[in-house]
Structure 1
């Protein structure tokens, strides 16, 4: 299967909302159940080591990194070092951390995503691209990073899941919020720490997380407080 067909397969799973045997979960999974994020039920296997698909993805990463401008690489490194909902501050024109109800809600989304991504990372145990190809420039150099935490991307799960919820809190800025989520995920490829299929898997997982959260009465109740806060800050009229 070619990378493009593989990514299309991933995208087509975005509305499959889990089921099957329970996966191991951490105590910080508050809203979802382990069945909701069962890896084998929501994500296909990544390309096998040494396969044509993996080699094509590595070649694509080399192309992305070589063609990245200095400004884009600087953005990727900033994104690498900042893993929280503040990634959306610039597009909203406000510091989310000073908005307690909103920050607390989005932090819960992040926490739920971290646990869900961790389950899949452990299940698929995919080597990072730089662990497979030592010639690949990457943002993990010198960090003693775990070489087997590639699929899916935790950073990308954060941006897509928080972006999913934030776009519904501030629908007037949904386009720039979702664009920033995608750009943040792209930074993982520019950084050479994730394959394209890793970040697309995160998009699928985050869509499932967001959909499940918006169907949870306890979570929806907290959204009301966040929306009121955002309305008071003149970020939304909803």
Structure 2
């Protein structure tokens, strides 16, 4: 009996001294839905009838030097052993696959039906997205860069911003650094050609100087949606709806396959899961939660 009491006491001690961030599990990842599910159920294996497509990768001459240098930056919260798991979470279907063909047809359909209003909205969203390396307050992009950190949380109100929530802002900046590094390292690993490299009928509204997989816009938008959900759980649906609009915009522009966007959503959730392995992230998230609870009453 004495040994049992000792074991129970030890278990209670371990639970009580564990970082509080681990005591509350993450929200579960919502199941794949809509056409992302439909296309994902198609074969992603090479189709011999379109074998020529599998010889195409992202053209080296179109690669931006910034896309390469951003992949060389160190992560803040993401540990190397967790980062090593990311490429295995999802991978693009073969260029010649039935899945890719269906996704290209989907993009052609969007191209044929997109309205001026939809184009304007997608082009507006294309300019959203914060960067970790705009740190000088005299930089002309400094204020806008910080404002955009809270884009996914616009439904909370314009008072939820970098000026009123400094701890949350620092958390977001650290996360953005990890997100951007992850984005460009994955693009380097897979070097997936953009849809317009495979389908000559596609007329993209812009061209991007980095590979297609996974979508950077979808990665930061869903990661932020999941992160804000840990701070303000009751707004999760609104945050995800905002992120979903971001990924839709990338398809409307003709620059991302649906599988780029769905992969980014899955990777985003796992980023948050892996960050929870870092005590510093847990501490910083606690500060952001406490800041929200304290300041929301005063604003």
Please indicate, yes or no, whether the TM-score normalized by the shorter chain is above 0.5. yes
1:171 counterpart (233, 250, 270): 233
Structure 2: runs of 5+ lacking an equivalent: 1-37, 45-70, 131-148
Change (3 A) 1:139 1:225: farther
Contact 1:7 1:200 in 2 (8 A): no
Change (3 A) 1:6 1:102: farther
Partners of 1:41 and 1:73 in 2: how far apart? Answer: 34
Partners of 1:103 and 1:122 in 2: how far apart? Answer: 29
Greater Rg by CA: 2
Matched, 1:86 2:122: no
2:263 is aligned to: 201
2:183 counterpart (117, 120, 130): 117
Secondary structure in 2 matching 1:178: helix
1:5 is aligned to: 41
Matched, 1:97 2:162: yes
2:251 counterpart (177, 186, 189): 189
1:42 counterpart (80, 84, 89): 89
Please give the per-residue CA displacement for 1:170-193, whole angstroms capped at 9, x wherever unaligned.
112111011111221221111111
How far residue 139 of structure 1 moved from its aligned partner, in angstroms, is: 3.3
1:59 is aligned to: 105
How far residue 161 of structure 1 moved from its aligned partner, in angstroms, is: 0.9
How far residue 6 of structure 1 moved from its aligned partner, in angstroms, is: 5.5
How far residue 89 of structure 1 moved from its aligned partner, in angstroms, is: 4.5
Contact 2:77 2:175 in 1 (8 A): no
Aligned length, in residue pairs: 214
1:11 is aligned to: none
Change (3 A) 1:33 1:139: farther
- TM-score (normalizing by structure 1): 0.80
Change (3 A) 1:111 1:74: same
Partners of 1:26 and 1:127 in 2: how far apart? Answer: 21
Partners of 1:34 and 1:7 in 2: how far apart? Answer: 32
Matched, 1:33 2:73: no
How far residue 7 of structure 1 moved from its aligned partner, in angstroms, is: 10
Matched, 1:126 2:173: no
How far residue 235 of structure 1 moved from its aligned partner, in angstroms, is: 7.8
Partners of 2:262 and 2:113 in 1: how far apart? Answer: 21
Aligned CA-pair RMSD: 2.5
Contact 1:170 1:235 in 2 (8 A): no
Contact 1:110 1:161 in 2 (8 A): no
Contact 2:153 2:239 in 1 (8 A): no
Secondary structure in 2 matching 1:136: coil
Change (3 A) 1:155 1:225: same
Secondary structure in 1 matching 2:162: helix
Contact 1:79 1:87 in 2 (8 A): no
Partners of 2:184 and 2:101 in 1: how far apart? Answer: 25
Change (3 A) 1:187 1:155: same
Please give the per-residue CA displacement for 1:139-185, whole angstroms capped at 9, x wherever unaligned.
324xxx32x51000111110111111111101121110111112212
Contact 2:153 2:228 in 1 (8 A): no
